[in-house]
Amino acid sequence: QQQVKQSPQSLIVQKGGIPIINCAYENTAFDYFPWYQQFPGKGPALLIAIRPDVSEKKEGRFTISFNKSAKQFSLHIMDSQPGDSATYFCAARGNFGNEKLTFGTGTRLTIIP
């Protein structure tokens, strides 16, 4: 089954801390792993993405770490700010001839001042 398991369900971190959100997958046919950020009342927006041929990708304060052998990937937010408070979704796309994404269940992140 094409599942992506995400944890934790919610996370509270103090400003300046480094929240870490983890995802795991089973299907080795997945070849693209994006993260989406969603603010209340808005649709999800692409934040950062990685392919399995690299172990890490950084964009600004956001970093994806990817462990192909363990079939796990995680999002790290450096120097977190209250404005980073949002729901984060990991996702995976398989090389099945279509562009469908399978999403994790989401993590509600709260950064407290």
Partner 1 sequence: NAGVTQTPKFQVLKTGQSMTLQCAQDMNHNSMYWYRQDPGMGLRLIYYSASEGTTDKGEVPNGYNVSRLNKREFSLRLESAAPSQTSVYFCASSDVQGPSMVYGYTFGSGTRLTVV
Give the residues lining the site for partner 1 (CB under 8 A). 6, 9, 31-32, 34, 36, 41-46, 49, 51, 89, 95, 98-106
Cα 67 to Cα 27: distance, rounded to the nearest angstrom:
14
Nearest approach, Cβ of residue 46 and partner 1 (Å): 3
Q: Is the Cβ of residue 99 or residue 113 nearer to partner 1 in the bound state?
A: 99
Cα 21 to Cα 113: distance, rounded to the nearest angstrom:
20
Nearest approach, Cβ of residue 14 and partner 1 (Å): 25
Q: Is the Cβ of residue 17 or residue 106 nearer to partner 1 in the bound state?
A: 106
Q: Is the Cβ of residue 41 or residue 113 nearer to partner 1 in the bound state?
A: 41
Nearest approach, Cβ of residue 64 and partner 1 (Å): 12
**N- to C-terminal Cα separation, the chain:** 40
From residue 19, how far is each of 8, 22, 26, 60, 102 by CA, in Å? 10, 10, 24, 15, 23
